[in-house]
Every structure is written in structure tokens, then in C-alpha cells.
A and B are shown apart, each in its own frame.
Chain A
Amino acid sequence: MTPHEYLVVEVTEACPHACVHCYNYWRENRAPVLAPDTLSRKEIRKLVRNIRRTAPLKVVALSGGEPLLRPDIAGICSDLASDGLDVAVITSGALLTPARAARFPVGTTFEITLFGADAALHDRIVGRSGAFDRVLNGAVSAIERGCSLVASIVVTRLNAGHTRDALELGIALGADAFLLNRMNFSRLTLPRAGELGPNVEQLRDALAAAEAVAVQYEASISVSVPIPACVIDPAPYRHLHFGWCPRGGAQAYYTVSHNGLLRPCNHSSVVLGDLRKTPFEELVTGRAAAAFWAPIPPACSTCTHPLRDVCRGGCPAASDECYGTREQADPLVQLAHGQSAYAGV
């Protein structure tokens, strides 16, 4: 048995948007919604059932690409929900019309991304005019259907000053949980880090805005993509939940590619194996998985921050994608101040 309760399934690589911060390693491709090797609805159900034989899955997040591009996405949700799983659909929300929403099981969670309350800014970030209005309509459609709404606020340099607006828009739309995700880097976005990545001051301002919203509205806000403790100490933000990489532990969310290949997480392009051929348990307890999670950046070994044992250099997948090694700390550390403020004390 393995302890894993969460799983991400990327049901397609296709996406109608071109978000400036998109980290997906296939973002340059024009992937079809259903490629020849894409898992069918039936295969997804079978694959998840197989995983549940050795893992106590509770939540399956359907992601992409844009999962709502798949015509059978509501059916996939129904299959998983009727198997007793909580299902979350990670989507832009732009394709969720009332008619489509009505096909999803009541209680499905839709996680939509907001960047502020400015339509022009939203459309600029996602690279598609009219997207903002469609996202609002999608969020309302989810609420009308009796589904849960989670607002994911992605903080980039372009919208860091709009964090409060984004959270309040999520509240107005009926969201009952919030993720505050700072932009995470990949080899495709790192060259544009100076233009797109939030600096430390912007991140602090965004966190302060989120802290104020959490207090004022008693909102549950998770700072999900790790912000290494040497970049910003989370201690002052007492009403925010800070997330750290679970590094393959019980709360890891291994990610299934559209074609059944298993990866350590959604941010990584590393393939651990093919779930069509090898059981989940064998892949997550195998050498490739252990090797992926093991490295701790040497610069972090002398860190004295109280969070060092959970931080461990931030997002190892981002380091791997950007530098080709997990021996370096999260790219955010280098971008923030060259090296860890706690290293070498």
C-alpha cells in the first residue's frame, strides 16, 4: 500500500488560452484535444480504480491543458464521483456554460483562475480577448449547478497589485476556498522572469493583501506554490496556510499525463513510468521516484530557519525544469537575492 490521497489526471494537453505564466512543458505544441494515445473515459476510470487498490485516494483533480475541451469530461467526473471520490476540475472556467455545468455531478469542485477584477488585464495574461467575461459566466454556472468554487489567484509581476481585487472577486462569485499561487518557473518562462515573475516586494504586498482578506472575511487562503522561507518568512501572515512540496509523501499528488504516463507532479516533465503497463505502487516506490525526491540543495544544508525541514529549497520540480538539477534551490531564491539568506549562517 502507498499513503497517497490525491491524484492529478491531465485529461488533455490542448488549451484555448496562451497564459504568459504557463509552465506546461508542452505549451509550445498545438496539441489536439484527443490525441491518438489519450486515455479514454473508460481507461481513466479503470486506471484510477487500479490505483485505489494500493492507495487510499480521496481527491482526483482533472487538469490539462483545459479539461473542459473534452466532450466527455462531465462523464469522467460522474464516473469518479460515483466511485466515491471527490472530484475537482482545474479549469480556466471560460468554457463552462450553464448547459455544460448541468451535466456535471452536483458537488463537483471547479478550481478557476483569477488575476484581478480588471477584464483587460485578465485577457492580456491569458492571451484571449473576452476570456474574463466568459470566466465569470463559468463561475456563476458552477454555483447555479450547486458545485463548489475554488478561486486560484496566480500572482505574476503583471497582476501582483491586484491580489485583493482577485480574492474579493472570488468571494463575490461564491468561492469558498482560495489558492494564492505565485508564478512558478519552468524552462520556458525563466527567460522572461524579469518581465513576468513577481519580485519580493510584490510578493510581500500580495501576501499582506491576502492576509487582510483572510482576516476581514474569515477566508481560507492557501499559499500553495512554495515560497522558500529564505525569500519571505511566512510567520507574519498568520491567517494564511502555507504549502510546501510534499516530496512524494502522503500528500503528494502524482500526476497522470493524458496518455497514462506517471510524473512526480504537475510541474515536472519527468516520467516515472507508464501506468498502462506498471502498477502505481511499483512506480511511486521505485528508484526513479526516490531519486527524484531525494536531493536537497546543498545551499540549504546550513539553513537555520525553523521551516527548513519542510521547505527544503522550495519547488524541486521548478529547479529541475529550469536548471536540469534538483541540487539547486527553487529559481525564486536566485531571482530574489542570489542565495538563501539563511544559508551559511
Chain B
Amino acid sequence: MATKKASTPAKGVDMKALAAELGVPIKEGKVTALRDRYFVTIGKTKTPVPVGEVIDPAQIKKLAGQQVSVIAIGRTIVAISGLGWRPPIIVCYIPVPDFVKAIRQDLRAVVLKGMVDKQIITPELQQRLLAGE
């Protein structure tokens, strides 16, 4: 099994098509940053941008201070121009090699000892685990 973490390229958004589909106008706004949080201000309304699963923090950081086109419905930011939308990695039910990442041995040893202390894992199983590493 591979041990690398999945990396997916950011995908741009067709602002015109999305706005037409949702039946809402494209507005102009400004991106601002406050520590690790990001906002888009449209007119006098300042709205937080959902950074994380969908929006790459590194990308929006580059847009801080800039004017952008925005699609918003109410206080929900749907899309921002110049900002790639990270397509979420799709996986369900089966283990995918890209997600395999070994836990650091020192951290694991502490957890294992804790499980033995709580009598959840027996000392015999602990010995077998340590021998199997």
C-alpha cells in the first residue's frame, strides 16, 4: 500500500454558469483576513468564508485584500472568483491506499500502555504487538 496522502488539484468555478443555474447575480466583494479566518465583504455585509474541506486556506490567503466576484445567497457564500474549489476526495466503505498513514511509534506506545493499564488490552497481547512491530 502507498503511504502518501491524497492530493487533488483545485478546480475553478464557472461563475456565470453557476449564477445562472442558481438564478442569482454575481456581486463584487473584498476578501479580508483575521488571523486564520477569512471573510468576504459585500457592501456592508461581512461574511465568513468556509475554509477547510472545500476551500484551500493557502489559496484564499493569496486573495486577502483583493476585490473578487462572489456568488452568495443570503449569508451563504457559494463561490468566489479566482478561488479553486477543492473537489473533496471521494471514498466510502473501502480503505483507499492514499489514506494509509502510520501513527508515530512513540505516540502509539503511549496509547498502547494506557490501554494495558486500563485492562482493555492484556499484557500478553501487548507483548505480541510489540514483537510484531
Contacts and interface: CB of A to CB of B under 8 A. Distances in A.
A315 to B, nearest CB: 8
Majority DSSP secondary structure for residues of B touching A: loop
Size class of the A contact interface (CB-based, 8 Å): 35 or more
Contacts of B35: none
B120 A176 contact: no
Interface stretch (A274-282, A284-292, A300-308): A300-308
Interface in A182-240: 216-220, 222, 224-226, 233-238
Interface in A136-189: 136-137, 140, 143-146, 148, 150, 168-169, 171-177, 179, 181
B112 interface: yes
B99 A177 contact: yes
A251 interface: yes
A109 B1 contact: yes
Contacts of B118: 117
A88 B108 contact: no
B129 A241 contact: no
A242 interface: yes
Contact of B52 (A6, A235, A253): A235
17 contacts: A59-B96, A61-B94, A107-B1, A111-B95, A148-B100, A171-B103, A171-B107, A171-B111, A172-B112, A225-B93, A244-B88, A245-B90, A249-B90, A307-B54, A307-B88, A310-B87, A342-B76
Interface in B51-100: 51-55, 73-74, 76-79, 85, 87-97, 99-100
Interface in B85-133: 85, 87-97, 99-104, 107-108, 111-112, 114-115, 118, 120-121, 125, 128-129, 131-133
Contacts of A304: 22, 73-74, 76, 78
Given A136-B121, A143-B129, A266 B93 contact: yes
